Amino acid sequence: MSEPATGYVSGGSVIDLIGNTPLLKLEKIADIPPDVEIYAKAEWLNPGGSVKDRAARKMVLEAVRNGELKGGRSIMDSSSGNTAIAYAMIGAALGIGVTIVAPENINTERKKTIEAFGAGIVYSDPIEGSDGAILLARELKKRDSDKYFMPDQYNNPLNPLAHYETTGPEIWEQTGGRVTHFIAGAGTGGTIMGVSRRLKELNPRIRTFAAQPAEAIHGLEGLKHMETSIVPGIYDPAGFDETIFVSTEDAYAMMESMVRREGLFVGHSGGAAVCAAVGKAQTLESGVIVTVLPDSGMRYLSEKLWW
């Protein structure tokens, strides 16, 4: 299912390791009806450590193919974390420069990982959060349009397409076509939009859900409270069935339970996705629910979440 990187033999590049992640069965995290199963895609096992490797690969390889990245241009985009690391890794593997625009308060793990790959960081005002980074990236592109290729993950249809082409079919195959419900946290919306479209084509009866933070000011890194944010161009609630709102407190409790009871050291948004999945499971008589664990808790160790 993984797309081969331009110019590399199969298995010859880290880029070829993106995707085809395992599907785990979650059995101990909550009491759910006996005929309901919950599965989760272990996306932190991607080589860049998150689900965002998939979208970054698609957007960058397409730009290599269509010439947008020719002539010494570098990749420049806003991201507060996982996409930034994915661009930095892919840029290093392809010998392409990377500049990341991110709020100044992103944690040390992110800063050090991005810089370890040789990418540069331009900081935006931490008070303005990820929306501030989006606006600054647009300004840099306007100022220096020849220097940068800006994938614009929030508005680039290749972002959901990556999930339509890889994550969706993987879930279908790994469940043997038994999946009945799909739930993903929404940041750019790439995962929910792309997987939803693919699964509904394969079986129109499959129900799909976006998980969103319940509060405008939340601690669910990577997810967006759409009502109070710049809504991504690729995000369209018509592409899935419903939104499930999850509080930061419930997501953190679930995250801790995942670590202690399943041995799965997931990040905040994984806790939110599983919270939504368990809530849905408790309303069903039978079903096969699939969700996504976007990254690892290791990415947040300095944030005093673990004590």
**Residue ranges in contact with ligand PMP by CB under 6 A:** 50-52, 81-82, 185-191, 221-223, 267, 269, 294-295
* R_g of the chain, CA atoms, integer Å: 18
Q: What is the largest CA-CA distance in the chain?
A: 58
CB of 22 to ligand PMP, least distance (A): 18
- What minimum distance in Å lies between the beta carbon of 249 and ligand PMP? 18
> With respect to ligand PMP, which residue has the nearer C-beta, 194 or 287?
194
Q: How many Cα atoms sit within 13 Å of 108 on the Cβ side?
A: 4
d(CA 258, CA 29): 6
The strand pair at 36-42 and 23-25 is best described as: antiparallel
Tell me whether residue 52 is one of the annotated catalytic residues: yes
**Residues in Cβ contact with 26 at an 8 Å cutoff, skipping those fewer than 6 apart:** 38, 39, 40, 258, 262, 274, 277
Q: Cβ of residue 190: shortest distance to ligand PMP, in angstroms?
A: 4
Q: Which two tokens stand for residue 264?
A: 């799965």
Report the residue closest to ligand PMP, judged by CB: 222
Q: Report d(CA 95, CA 266) in Å as an integer.
A: 31
Tell me which of 80, 124, 130, 269 is the catalytic residue: 269
Respond yes or no: is residue 269 known to be catalytic: yes
What are the angstrom distances between the C-alpha of 191 and each of 64, 89, 132, 209? 23, 20, 23, 11
Residue closer to ligand PMP, measured from CB, 52 or 181: 52
Query: Is the Cβ of residue 44 or residue 149 nearer to ligand PMP in the bound state?
Result: 44
Q: What angle, 0 to 180 degrees and rounded to 10, lies between the N-to-C axes of helices 52-65 and 82-94?
A: 40
Active-site residue, selected from the candidate residues 13, 41, 50, 52: 52
Looking up tokens 């699964």, which residue turns up?
199
The C-alpha angle with vertex 295 and arms to 291 and 297, in degrees rounded to 5, equals 115
Q: Which is nearer to ligand PMP, 165 or 295 (CB)?
A: 295
Side chain identity, residue 180: T
Q: How far is the CB of 297 from ligand PMP (least distance, A)?
A: 10
The label of the residue with tokens 């690391």 reads 85
Strand partners, 120: 99
With respect to ligand PMP, which residue has the nearer C-beta, 13 or 50?
Answer: 50
* Residue number, 36 or 152, with CB nearest to ligand PMP: 152
Distance CA 88, CA 293 (A): 21
- Nearest distance from C-beta of residue 213 to ligand PMP, angstroms: 11
Are 121 and 102 within 8 A, CB to CB? yes
From the CB of 145, what's the least distance to ligand PMP, in Å? 25
| Active site amino acids | 52, 269
